[in-house]
Amino acid sequence: MKQERAKSPKMRRRDFLGLMVAAAATAATRVSLAQENKSMRKEESTAVYSGDSSDLPQITRIIDTTSGPVRGLVNDGVHTFKGLRYGAPPVGPLRWMPPQRPAPSKVVLDCSDYGAPAMQMASGATAAPTGDYGMLMARVFTTPSELKIQNEDCLFLNVWTPATDNVKRPVMFWIHGGIFAYGSGGQPVYCMEDLARDHGVVAVNVNHRLNVFGYLHLGDLMGDAYKSSGTVGMQDLVLALQWVRDNIANFGGDPDNVTIMGQSGGGAKVSILMSMDSAKGLFHKASIQSGPGLIVGRREPATAAAKALLAELGIQSGDIKSLQGMPAQTIIAAAFAADAKNNAGPRVPGMRRPGGIGYIPIIDGVAITRDPFTPDAPAVSRDVPVLVGYVKDEITIFTAGEPWFGKMTEADLEQRIAMLGPMGKPLVEAWRKIRPDYSPTYLFTAAMSSMFAMGGSIALAERKAAQAGAPVYMWYLTWETPVAGGLFKTPHTMEIPFMLDSYRRVRAFAGPDPGAARMQQQIGEAWVAFARTGKPDCPEIPHWPPYDAGKRSTMVFNLESQVVNDPNSEVRKIIQGA
């Protein structure tokens, strides 16, 4: 049955006046409530600042920055500002373009939580952990969660400081790993709150463009405007360091005492920054951890990778508008497909090849003009002291999920040695002498680990020392984490929770005290001392002399750390072909 429309009665003057009176009364009530709420907010604010409501978060004072006024939270005495925007959203016409400064905000920005991670190219167990321990590790390195909230609008950094005053504290600037493909500053292992609180430094970490969005070279396919598109991820880091230079004094930091630090891919990024003219003067010390960046990519294979991506997307050279209009997830999927078909990038024997490693920084002649540490150390950072080092069993964190791990026989070892080339058998035999307790599985991973980070770290230290500028200090971590029954021994990333003082937040990786606490006391204090003075000497460890090609003095970190000259010399000689 058709519903009859209600008739609108005519409003009489008396009814209209009545509504006006009611409206006026309502408005008066709202004003009264607003005034009451304003008064309540003032009282609440006073209560928060006075500490009367200790269960409520405290609010920082408003800090002026070049991006606009910002406000964060005070967590257990640490003034914390998360999601500080340092760059304009690199989307639409700004895709694959050099980063731009954001327009300053006219309103106070909420900096109480992390900004979005960059678009991620993670695969395998990194993206989808398996087993109980895999799930626990996903709460240490939280890439599976970041895949849910990834975004191209990712140019954010985070600041932790003991106080927003005029004290000039050392600034420790962390760059995450994840090859050049995935990761963010928001992962629990990278939380720097305790570092700021317990060591009196200003701590910063950063998100930046990665993988195909940060390192896709389009200069030969889309015109001269895109000649530096293959390095925009590195250019993001330069812009972030410029933001630190311009703003960190307002957060209690010293812009003239900035230490850049990174591990794995982050270490390679630190190496590259040390060779970039645009980064000169933005940092004053550098820490390169299990990620020595000796060289970068080349234009020709980078162009081939870009052509493969365009073919996967069905886009012609020169059609930048179509490429910039393509959804980000579609580009990621096409990048994975093109990467797999072309088998781009390096492969480590015995490991599943991760996706995304075909997109790396290159010599573009604009932002990057040379290899970072080949054939020598870069002159532009001659006066920058360097910490460089590696851990004993780098590869176990990548191979523990492989079907052969822990099951290898001597016969299996003999077969797999061939994957490592002519150095394989000599390396295994050298490690057998050094570590007679190692099973075939761990002998194989020890040989791979040597080729992964040891050789490059030593080469970088030699070249820095030969420059006869600022000193370089070498370290080697041998302490074994007890988690998972000691499965990993001393895996890649093991030093991070100690040097960032985040170990209490990632017990599934760092393990219990007193061992973890002891390692943090030594490693953490050494890194902070280096950030303060350029020398890693501190009371918790023996005197740490600089590295040179004569003595090769190396700090070997364990429960009782010691300086050893040329540790594992037989392995070094094999790697260097001596």
Q: Which one of the listed residues 229, 264, 271, 450 is annotated catalytic?
A: 264
For residue 115, which phi and psi values (nearest 5 degrees)? -75, 170
CB 451 within 8 A of CB 428: no
Contacts of 428 (CB under 8 A, 6+ apart): 413, 417, 443, 444, 446, 447
CB 66 within 8 A of CB 243: yes
In the residue annotation, 569 being an active-site residue is answered as no
DSSP secondary structure string, 4-32?
PPPP-PPPPHHHHHHHHHHHHHHHHHHHH
Pairing assessment for the beta strands 169-175 and 202-206 based on DSSP bridges:
parallel
CA distance linking residue 267 with residue 392, whole number of Å: 17
CA distance linking residue 356 with residue 265, whole number of Å: 12
Element (DSSP H or E) covering residue 253: strand 253-263
Q: What secondary structure letter does DSSP report for 277?
A: G
Calculate the CA 63 to chain-centre distance.
25
CA distance linking residue 174 with residue 180, whole number of Å: 15
Task: Tell me which residue of 387, 360, 371 sits closest to 305, measured CA to CA.
Answer: 360
CA distance linking residue 359 with residue 362, whole number of Å: 9
CA distance linking residue 155 with residue 88, whole number of Å: 7
CA distances from 132 to 135, 203, 214, 402, 484 (A): 5, 32, 33, 16, 10
CB 285 within 8 A of CB 531: yes
CA distance linking residue 190 with residue 501, whole number of Å: 9
CB 86 within 8 A of CB 44: no
CA distances from 98 to 217, 448, 498 (A): 12, 37, 35
Catalytic positions, written as ranges: 264
